[in-house]
Amino acid sequence: MTTLRFALAAACITTVSLGAVAVSRADKERASPHADVSATVGGKKVTISYGRPYKKGRNIWGGLVPWDQVWRTGADEATTLTTDGDITLGTLRVPKGSYALFTIPSQKKSWQLVVNKNAKQWGAFKYDAKEDLGKTELKVGSGAEPVEQLTIAIEPNGPKKATLKLAWDDLLASVPIAP
């Protein structure tokens, strides 16, 4: 009986250990690594968590990322913005909390940054505009040189302002952040 209990305990420990290794390995083997970027803007910590896909020779704008459709602004889970205090993104007032960030790129109209109240989403597959906190315009221009891997940055502009920048392929999109 003791041997049977020992064998069952050993089997359970092995199963749990192998499960942990599989989860750890799966996270490390993502095609698009994940990153967090943070900055303090007017005393409020702002963090963006996102998947960083590679270009890999693909046509990004108007190809992999279609024009005039909601895009998850990264890979895998929806990109999230978390702020520990109220901020303003462009013209949009964003209260303290966590949100999903989406982008609507356009070839003919202005680009939109969408702040959605449902922070826990997989991509944009179940995106619901009824959950939007709101939208703000992104300024878009050509980057100095092509960027292979999607890069999001929060660049401080003095103690009370910053710029959220999104760079990928040949484009750079940005929006100011203020307290």
At residue 7, the pLDDT reads 41
At residue 25, the pLDDT reads 45
Q: Confidence band (pLDDT; 50, 70, 90) for 127?
A: confident
CA 127 to CA 71: how far, in whole Å?
9
Q: Confidence band (pLDDT; 50, 70, 90) for 20?
A: very low
Closest CA to 79 of 40, 124, 110, 46: 124
CA 144 to CA 166: how far, in whole Å?
13
Coil vs helix vs strand at 76: coil
At residue 125, the pLDDT reads 66
At residue 63, the pLDDT reads 94
For residue 107, pLDDT over 60 is answered with yes
Beta bridge pairs of residue 163: 155, 176
Helix, strand and coil content of the chain, in percent to the nearest 5, comes to 15, 50, 35
pLDDT digits (tens, 9 = 90+) for 42-58: 999 999 999 999 999 99
10 contacts: CB under 8 Å, gap ≥ 6: none
At residue 156, the pLDDT reads 94
Beta bridge pairs of residue 32: none
At residue 148, the pLDDT reads 96
For residue 5, pLDDT over 60 is answered with no
